[in-house]
A and B are shown apart, each in its own frame.
Chain A
């Protein structure tokens, strides 16, 4: 059993007056894939964005409760949100490469965090990250062409390469395959199996099959509440809660 990497306790999230998450507590383990499933609007993405404090970006959003990584409270005043996000990478629903070259997309993070001193260092980081994201062979001849010119699946792998370029420990993925075709999806899932050897991965997904394929643990959200969290096998074969049962058998959602 791996050790607990991320621990969320009694999380409430409000958008203005509207409460989006109700008292969510959940542990996520090191070097595993944890999947968050549930119908649209159930709060699974909101929960994900608490882990790298992306909700801070939204003015009307307020978070109560406690999230700690390796035992350190990430909402503590002494924590710099930039360093937190350096440590917790994120991949979004829609591929969002910057309108720059492939090379510059990946060099972006290492540059702003001063992780490389010379061009050769950056070259190395770019190549390594692309290798890890299983994209290098496809783009090695056109590193200096715009990242937006790649196909959707390639763009998403570019975004994964960008996320791992700063050596995070955790990668958050917010429905990373929802804009991709099945072949590109299969590639990303394969990649996640590789990446989990090195990173702790939390993935929000709409597809129960995907959760079943890639994850070790699965949490089921419904109407802002965490209904059940357990090993993926248990959730899909023998859930403890009737709502989970109904959802995975397709009775709602």
Chain B
């Protein structure tokens, strides 16, 4: 029904457009005076009046519909039991809706429910009808209003201009509001989590075993053990260990690739090599995941055993190595651009002093490009810290506090996945811990991105 109504509104808008334009044409031929705007702007004028407010009204009704229905349908139940929980309300409502659609989950339906079903069908139909009447009359009346307002001195061109301004502004607001929304939802759950587990235990605790919550629920342990179950330090350590290994791979390889592409490769070679390297960044991380788990991890294990190390079959080294390969293009592509944008005059200045190519690169170009290169490193680090799939598949899930790259390790993102897979109670500290982890991760990557952007910005100002 919503779709049909929207189509109706759009039809009214299109109709309004033609009417508006027609009136403008008439005005133009009738009066000798100049009309301020081109004909089609008068069309848009009516169309905007017809479409925008009625759509907003429609959205508002839809948003409140659920609440109105709930209050009306459940009024009898609330009279009986004023302390009805939100979850019980949802359950009741679901039962009523199912019954109204003819789905029988229970053999016996209480008369209270049967009444509620009737009420539900009644209110739904009423609201539907009202919506049509209200929305369509808003569209129609406002079109009429706009039509009447069209005179030769109406500046509809300016009106359209300000409408577009508002439209663009609203769209840019969407991204910002989404970020803010995500932060608040994370923050809300995180605060709930910290009301049960102290923040210091979370940040500095050495033991991560959220599964113990279930043990507590079964009555074997007291709450003090609960606090000891959420020490996230092993996760932070694992995250940084794997990110560190990844950077050990990505920084040298990426930087040297960038130097080769920027300074040594012929323009032809550069033109086709660069996109191919950038493909690395486009491979789905799941694919890297099984590459890491099935190919690299066994190789690392065999090599390590031959060399006399004890290597577990899922190791931080394998995951970090593959992650490093994945982020090579982040380092190489950005560094390449940065090295390239060092002015040619500096190269020539160095060559003119009798420096060789590699001396010029090491002593002039890299120092000059350093801020931009560091920026690319920081972006790559935040990518490495946020990466999940490779670690899930190749590094294991054991939350151990270790600096040994041959050992299994786990990261913040991996634990979030592990926690949130399957059925969850949303008031359990275990689930809320995922939000606390998410917020921590968000803050860390946000800081890194912020620093990276500042560094890059400083760099771009440099040669002006």
Contacts and interface: CB of A to CB of B under 8 A. Distances in A.
A4 interface: no
Interface string A79-104: 00111111001101010111110000
A52 B363 CA distance: 21
A152 interface: no
A57 B354 contact: no
A112 B354 CA distance: 8
B110 interface: no
Nearest to B356: A82
B368 A57 contact: no
B163 interface: no
Contact of B462 (A94, A99, A166): A99
B355 A92 contact: no
Contacts of B351: 54, 57, 85
- Chain A contact patch, size range: 20 to 34
A125 interface: no
Interface string B348-378: 1111111110010001100110000000000
B218 interface: no
B347 interface: yes
Contacts, number: 66
- Chain B contact patch, size range: 20 to 34
B53 interface: no
A92 B359 CA distance: 20
B352 A90 contact: yes
B339 to A, nearest CB: 13
Which of A59, A86, A99 has most chain B Cβ within 10 Å?
Answer: A99
B354 A83 contact: yes
Given A96-B349, A99-B462, A159-B349, A59 B364 contact: no
B349 A89 contact: no
Interface string B439-464: 00000000000000000000000100
Interface of A: 52, 54, 57, 59, 81-86, 89-90, 92, 94, 96-100, 108-109, 112-113, 159, 162-163, 166
13 contacts: A54-B351, A85-B353, A85-B354, A89-B353, A96-B343, A96-B345, A96-B349, A99-B367, A99-B368, A99-B462, A108-B364, A109-B353, A162-B353
Given A86-B354, A109-B353, 9 more contacts: A82-B355, A82-B356, A85-B354, A86-B353, A96-B345, A99-B367, A112-B363, A162-B353, A166-B353
Q: Which 9 A-B pairs have the closest CB atoms?
A: A85-B354, A90-B352, A86-B354, A96-B345, A96-B349, A109-B353, A82-B354, A99-B368, A112-B355
